[in-house]
Structure 1
C-alpha cells in the first residue's frame, strides 16, 4: 500500500511540474505603481491580435517554466496590444489610439500612440524598462526561451550599462551560457 501511495505522489508531482507556468501579467500603470513600492525592471510584450510570431512567443516562450519563473521573480511583466484601444498613462501623458476601428479588432488596425512613442515598428517587440520606467531597449522579433534569457539577464544585472559598442555585446553574447530549458 505504501508503494502505491508513493507512486501516486510521484505521478502527481511529475504532472504538476510539467504544467506550463504562467507569467503574472499586469498593466503598464500597475507595473509603474508596483515599482514605487518594490523597484524592479519592466518587460513589456508589445503584440497584436493578428501576429503569428506574437502567438508563438506567447505559447513557446512565455509559457516556458524557466522564463515564467525568472520573469515573475525579477520583472513586472506587461502585455500591451500595439493596435488596441486602451488609454494608457505613462510619464504624465495619456496615450490612446484615435485611429482605432472596432471592426478591425482582430485584423491590422491603427498603431496605438504608445506604440509609436516607443518607436515599435515590428511585432512582437519586447520592451525593457528600468526601475524608473525609462526605456532600456526594444528587442524586436520572436525570441526562443534561451534567446530571451540572454536579454532578461543582461538587463536584470545591468550588464548592458558596460556595453558601449557592438563588439562588447558580441563578446557578452559569445560568453553567455543559457540555462533555460527549451
Structure 2
C-alpha cells in the first residue's frame, strides 16, 4: 500500500474530525483576544462569569452551553469568553488592567453565574445574574445582535 496515500487519508480524517468537534461546542477564547476579535469581526462579546464552586454555573455548562442551537448561534454571531471570577489572572478593558476579581466588581456582578454582554466597540450592554435556559440565552443574544446588525 502507498504510505503517502495512507498518510493523506489520515490527515484528511483528522481535519474532518477536528472541524466536527469545533461545531460540537462553543468556541471559547480569552477576554483580551475576544475584545480584539469582536471589534475586527463586528460581533458582540458574550462573557460567562462563573466560579468553580458555583452549582448553577455547572448547570449552565451542562444544559445551556451544550444546546445545539446555542452552540451554533454563539459560534456564528458572538465572541465567547468563560471568565472565572476568582482566578488569579488579569485582563484589559477600555485601556485599564484589572484582576478578574476587580473586573467583575467593577461591572456590577453580584452573584454567579452572571452573563455579560459587550458591544463590538467595547461598551458594557448588560450584566444578567442567574442561570438561564438555552431559550433565555438565545433571546438575550438575539436582542443585542439585532441592535448591531
Mark yes or no: TM-score above 0.5: yes
The higher radius of gyration belongs to 1
Shift of 1:36: 3.3
Which stretches in structure 2 are left out of the alignment for 5+ residues?
1-19
1:43 and 2:46 are equivalent in the alignment:
yes
Bigger mean CA deviation after superposition, 34-43 or 112-121: 34-43
**2 CA distance for matches of 1:30 and 1:38?**
12
Shift of 1:135: 0.5
Corresponding residue number in structure 2 for 1:148 = 137
**2 CA distance for matches of 1:136 and 1:90?**
14
Shift of 1:89: 1.2
1:124 and 2:113 are equivalent in the alignment:
yes
Under a length normalisation based on structure 2, what TM-score does the superposition of the two structures give?
Answer: 0.81
Where do 4+ consecutive residues of structure 1 move more than 2 Å?
none
Q: Report which of the two has the higher share of helix.
A: 2
Under a length normalisation based on structure 1, what TM-score does the superposition of the two structures give?
Answer: 0.66
Corresponding residue number in structure 2 for 1:62 = 65
Which has the bigger relative contact order, CA under 8 A and spacing at least 6? Answer: 2
The CA RMSD measured in Å over matched residues stands at: 1.7
Shift of 1:21: 2.2
Identify which of 75, 82, 92 aligns with 2:95: 92
Q: Report which of the two has the higher share of strand.
A: 2
Please tell me whether the aligned partners of residues 21 and 64 of structure 1 are also in contact (alpha carbons under 8 angstroms). Answer: no
1:31 and 2:20 are equivalent in the alignment:
no
The size of the alignment, in residue pairs, is 127
Please tell me whether the aligned partners of residues 48 and 123 of structure 1 are also in contact (alpha carbons under 8 angstroms). Answer: yes
Indicate the SS of the match to 1:123. Answer: coil
Q: After the TM superposition, which residues 155-170 of structure 1 pair with which residues of structure 2 at under 5 Å, given as runs?
A: 155-158=144-147
**1 CA distance for matches of 2:50 and 2:59?**
11
